[in-house]
A and B are shown apart, each in its own frame.
Chain A
Amino acid sequence: MANVSVLNLSKNFGTTTALDRVSFQFEDGKFFALLGPSGSGKTTLLRMIAGFESPDQGSIHIGGKVVDHIPVEKRDIGMVFQNYALFPNMNVQANVGFGLRVRGISGSEMKRLVAEALELVRLSGFDNRQPDQLSGGQRQRVALARAIVTKPRVLLLDEPLSALDRTLRLEMEIELKRIQRDVGITTIFVTHDQEEALTMSDQIGILNEGQLVQHGSPVDIYENPQSVFVARFLGEANLLRGQADGKNVKLEIGGTVKTLSKPAYPQVICSIRPEKISIQKEQEVHRSNGNRVAGRVNEHIFNGTSLTYLVQCGNLVVKVFVQNLSGEVIPPNSSVHLFFRPEDTLVFPDA
């Protein structure tokens, strides 16, 4: 187990910048997600920590030691690949035992450690299966067992769940988190799936165009995004354009709102999460404080536990999530008012 830190990492592929001066500290034993759209540099960063790519600038430390000139095979890492990369010419036992065999551990000791790892991923008794006799979820578990059986200092996961179907993915998210907690290994997880990042990680780093744009705990990033990009990429956000007068924001769709921080720019974008908005029929409005916007219901999507309203406000459709408390549904074409607190109204400069 070890800290991992990257310092000022930059990498160019030809004329495209894959990473641009990224610095980050991955603390010992924590679960980190590197989240970003494709081409944001998250996989490059992971492959650099593994040692498959070398940075143009900057350096990488594992366990306090510089590893810049240490090749992949000497870095003592475990890695799970997108398509698992199980060795097709070996059975499950040989696959999981590969790292041990390389380290000169064989015979009963090897078998014992392999059995332990397979038990951890709940695949005991699968020793003699061939990879092509396994389901996607089972292959994933074998790949994970293979990566942790050598007790590496860092576990690197490159979109390991993206090849699974939805139900299996949710199940594996929980499993993966349990295993990580049991083993207590520093884990770095690359994903483009924001839900995965939110549910699994202790810390999230968000990358965009080669830069680390924000990092923090899932709650912290979700509640306090520092940019429109982060607000939109992690979770959903209604983005309302407006003009600020130094105190309030006059929205393009009508209405004047107060924001969390003083708007420091004349042209701004306000961001409000759909679940922070409450909706009331026009004739039943009984609240007066807070921010208010008028609109008309376009349609609703009934989910059982919750409702999603799409509300036409001026030329914009605002999304509203409502918990199904009363069992009542506001029909389409009703005039409604949307309420949200100033604390939930984030303001960003309009670039």
Chain B
Amino acid sequence: MIFLKWISRIYLICILLFLYVPILVMIALSFNESQLYRIPIEWSTRWYEALASNSKLHSATLNSLTVALLSTCLSTLMGTAVALAFFRHDFRAKRLLQVMIFPPITIPWLIIGTAMLVFFFWVGIGRGLHAMILGHVALSLPYVVIVVSARLKSFDSALEDAAKSLGASYWQTTFWVTVPWLMPGIIAAALFAFAVSLDQFVISYFLAAPGFTTLPVEIYTAIRKGFTPEINAISTLVIFLSMLLLLGVSRFYRFGGRN
């Protein structure tokens, strides 16, 4: 048994190394004075200082946050409504609809992005901020539906009955009883949606108007021009933001197993 225990420990350590070593290396290098990745590392914050004066990165960051914020609001609102509809009502083709919500998760982004680009041009939406928001909403919607539905699974529908029996209208029941109860799920879903949007590259790349870039797109462009440790620095910041979001989600949502 002790042998098995050690095996599983080593296995766990391997997985963690596999996941985090590249990230840790990048973080370390972002603090390295040398541009050529010379070792030993000489401590420096010059790449972070360089970030401060990089206006392109600033506007890209602002764009990313704008898109993420707006698309998160929309997809959280819509996704929660969808989850509630699935919970409250039985209707024909419900199963089919439930399945049809999820393609954005399973179909490669490249294909969805191409399809959206073609479609948006065809119907006259074109490219731009609005198109990007639409695209991000479509991508994050399934995550919202999944997370909110998971929370709804343990909701006692007798609470809605009780509210109605006390004279509460449909909207009063929804906003005074159901939504407050769902709140942890809704917050987790919103953080999820925000993270999905923030990290999104392909869709943003396809749907952005010329001259309008988001952070991932900007990073990609910068790498193509020539790699600088500045990219390490900005990536490190993005990683910390993502981790923070994830921590936020885990506060409200159980990732498998029990807390």
CB distance from B137 to the nearest CB of A (A): 29
Query: In whole Å, how far is B153's beta carbon from the nearest beta carbon of chain A?
Result: 16
B69 within 8 A of A: no
B121-157 contact mask (Cβ, 8 Å, vs A): 1 or 0? 0000000000000000000000000000000000010
Interface pair A79/B165, CB less than 8 Å apart: yes
The answer to whether A85 and B161 have CB atoms under 8 Å apart is yes
Most buried by A among B163, B167, B181: B167
User: Which of the residues B159, B167, B176, B177 comes within 8 Å of A73, measured between beta carbons?
Assistant: B167
Answer yes or no: A14 CB below 8 A from chain B CBs: no
Interface centre among A81, A85, A99 (most CB of B within 10 A): A85
Q: Is the CB of B167 within 8 A of A87?
A: no
CA–CA, A187 to B70, complex, Å? 52
- Cross-chain contact A85 with B156 (CB below 8 angstroms): yes
Contacting B158 at CB < 8 Å: which of A72, A77, A85?
A85
Interface string of B160-179 (1 = CB under 8 A from A): 01111111110010001100
> Within the complex, what minimum Cβ distance (angstroms) separates A136 from chain B?
16
Q: Is A103 part of the contact surface with B, judged by Cβ < 8 Å? A: yes
Chain A residues whose CB sits within 8 angstroms of the CB of B180 once the complex forms: 89
**Does chain B have a CB within 8 A of A325?**
no
Determine if A107 is an interface residue (Cβ-Cβ < 8 Å).
no
Closest Cβ–Cβ distance, residue B45 to chain A (whole Å): 46
- CB contact list, A88-115 vs B, under 8 A: 88-89, 98-99, 101-103
The CA-CA distance from A99 to B164 in the complex, in Å, is 9
Other-chain residue from A50, A82, A86, A89 in contact with B165 (beta carbon distance below 8 A): A50
Q: When the two chains form their complex, are residues A102 and B167 in contact, meaning their CB atoms are under 8 A apart?
A: yes
Q: Is the CB of B158 within 8 A of A81?
A: yes
Are A103 and B158 within 8 A (Cβ)?
A: no
Interface residues of chain B: helix, strand, loop or mixed (majority): helix
| Complex alpha-carbon distance, A73 and B177, angstroms | 14
A87-B177, A88-B181 are known contacts. Are A81 and B161 too (CB-CB below 8 A)?
yes
Alpha-carbon separation in the docked complex, A133 to B172 (Å): 26
**How far in angstroms is the closest Cβ of chain B from A17?**
20
Within the assembled complex, what's the spacing in Å between the Cα atoms of A166 and B161?
27
Q: Is the beta-carbon distance between B181 and A150 smaller than 8 angstroms?
A: no
Alpha-carbon gap, A288 to B135, bound state (A): 95
Tell me if A146 counts as interface (CB < 8 A to partner B): yes
The answer to whether B161 and A52 have CB atoms under 8 Å apart is: yes
The CA of A50 and the CA of B160, in the complex, are separated in Å by 13
Distance in Å from the Cβ of A116 to the closest Cβ of chain B?
A: 17
Task: Determine the chain A residues whose CB is within 8 A of the CB of B172 once the complex forms.
Answer: 102
Could you say which residues of chain A place their CB within 8 Å of the CB of B166? 73, 78, 98-99, 102, 146-147, 150
- Inter-chain contacts of B165 with A (CB < 8 A): 50, 72-73, 77-79, 147, 156
What chain B residues lie within 8 Å of A146 (beta carbons)? Answer: 162, 166
Least CB distance from B220 to A in Å reads 45
Decide yes or no whether A76 CB sits under 8 A from chain B. yes
Alpha-carbon separation in the docked complex, A73 to B172 (Å): 11
Specify which of B165, B172, B176, B180 lies most central, judged by the most chain A CB atoms within 10 Å of its CB: B165
* Residues 53-64 of chain A, each 1 if its beta carbon lies under 8 Å from chain B, else 0: 000000000000
Contacting pair A83 B156 (CB below 8 A): yes
A170 to chain B, nearest CB (A): 25
Q: Are B161 and A102 in contact (CB under 8 A)?
A: no
Complex: A77 Cα to B177 Cα, angstroms:
19
Nearest CB of A to B68, in Å:
29
Cα-based distance from A233 to B166 in the complex (angstroms) = 34
Task: Report Cα–Cα, A150/B167, bound state, in Å.
Answer: 9
Report the bound CA distance from A76 to B166 in whole Å. 8
In angstroms, how far is the closest chain B Cβ from the Cβ of A189?
15
How far is A89 from B163 in the complex, measured between Cα atoms in Å?
Answer: 13
Residues of B within 8 A of A88 (CB): 159, 181
Q: Are B163 and A83 in contact (CB under 8 A)?
A: no
A150 to B165, CA, bound (A): 11
CA distance A156 to B161 in the complex (A): 13
- Asked if A98 and B163 make an inter-chain contact with CB atoms under 8 angstroms apart, the answer reads yes
Nearest-neighbour CB distance to chain A for B168, whole angstroms, equals 5
Query: With the chains together, A77 CA to B163 CA distance in Å?
Result: 11
Contact across chains for A83 and B158 when beta carbons are under 8 A apart = yes
A71 to B164, CA, bound (A): 9
Complex CA gap A88/B182 in Å reads 11
B159 touches A85 (CB 8 A): yes
Chain A residues with Cβ below 8 Å from B162 are: 79, 81, 85-87, 146
User: What is the bound-complex CA distance between A71 and B158, given in angstroms?
Assistant: 16
Q: What is the chain A residue whose CB lies nearest that of B165? A: A79
Report the separation of the CA atoms of residues A89 and B180 in the bound assembly, to the nearest whole angstrom. 7
> Nearest A residue to B160 by beta-carbon distance?
A85
In the A-B complex, the 3 residue pairs with the smallest Cβ-Cβ separation, listed nearest first, are A99-B166, A85-B162, A85-B158
A-B contact pairs, 22 of them (CB 8 A): A50-B165, A52-B161, A72-B161, A72-B165, A73-B164, A73-B165, A73-B168, A74-B167, A77-B165, A78-B166, A81-B161, A82-B158, A85-B162, A87-B159, A87-B163, A87-B177, A88-B159, A98-B176, A99-B166, A102-B166, A102-B169, A102-B172
Q: A81-B162, A156-B165 known; 16 other A-B pairs, CB under 8 Å?
A: A52-B164, A71-B164, A72-B161, A74-B167, A77-B165, A85-B159, A87-B159, A87-B163, A89-B180, A99-B167, A102-B167, A102-B172, A103-B167, A146-B166, A147-B165, A150-B167
Footprint of B on A, CB under 8 Å?
Answer: 50, 52, 71-74, 76-79, 81-83, 85-89, 98-99, 101-103, 146-147, 150, 156
